[in-house]
Amino acid sequence: MREYLDLRSDTVTRPDEEMRNAMRDAEVGDVVMGDDPTVLRLERMGAELFGKEACLMTVSGTMSNQTAVLSMTGRGEQIIVHDKSHMFNLEVAGLAQISGVQPRTLPAPGGRYDLGELEANLIGTAIQTAPTTLVCMENTFNLNQGLVVEKEHIDQVCELAHGKGVPVYMDGARILNAAAALDMEPDVLCRETDAVSVCLSKALGCPVGSLLAGSAEMIEKARRMRQMLGGGWRQGGVLAAAGIVARPASWR
Ligand SMILES: Cc1ncc(COP(=O)(O)O)c(C=O)c1O
């Protein structure tokens, strides 16, 4: 019988035997009660991977993105997103529906903002304006391209945004691919960003899962927001165990 490789996406993967065994044998508790040891371990590993104070496991990249925006903004504010970004195009208008923010889309060929245009859109509070309170980036820059955004540009965006008191969120669904391509540790690549997410279900073989890392204060808020979105699962250790098996080499 002929066998076919399924190349539709890096999400079309199957957990291997080691991963399935780890899931079966996972030590579990209750995530909502905060005592699932396997989830807590994976979250500690995620914080370390990105050099951030804290980390939260969610079920998907979409949930991490929406949880991040909910935690980092308030209703009626403006956030900057790439016009081709997943957050703007492929999340069922969650930015408007869930967070109630106004997305300001800017062109960003190859995932790179024009810095002058970005600066012009970091708008302050005035009687008629929606203040810009978050800048979002994506790495790798996807929409079926998987382009790597280099650290220099990320740092320039962060410097500009931080200069106006605006934090930067990195949708890093495939940030580990970018880190590998740049031969750079993820914490170095994302050092200047305020928060970053990564998907465990893309190229890493997990059936489900994403990690959102940031400051302790932001993640504490994100934990409540995840709960609101229905992400307060119980014996999540079964899923987190897959993430621990999938960890990149630099994490071992
Ligand atoms: C850049 C980017 N962000 C977020 C997501 C959403 O991830 P999920 O499918 O786990 O919700 C994807 C999915 O492909 C993506 O490519």
Pocket test for ligand 1, best of 90, 145, 149, 208 (most atoms within 8 A of CB): 90
What pTM value is reported for the model? Answer: 0.96
pLDDT tens profile 178-210: 999 999 999 999 999 999 999 999 988 899 999
Ligand 1 residue neighbourhood (C-beta within 6 Å):
60-62, 65, 86, 138, 142, 171, 173, 199, 201, 210
pLDDT tens profile 131-183: 999 999 999 998 878 999 999 999 999 999 999 999 999 999 999 999 999 99
Q: How many CA atoms lie within 13 A of 38 on its CB side?
A: 21
Pocket test for ligand 1, best of 10, 58, 142 (most atoms within 8 A of CB): 142
Contact 222, 214 (CB under 8 A): yes
Contact 209, 200 (CB under 8 A): yes
Contact 88, 103 (CB under 8 A): yes
Nearest CA to 63 among 205, 226, 195? 226
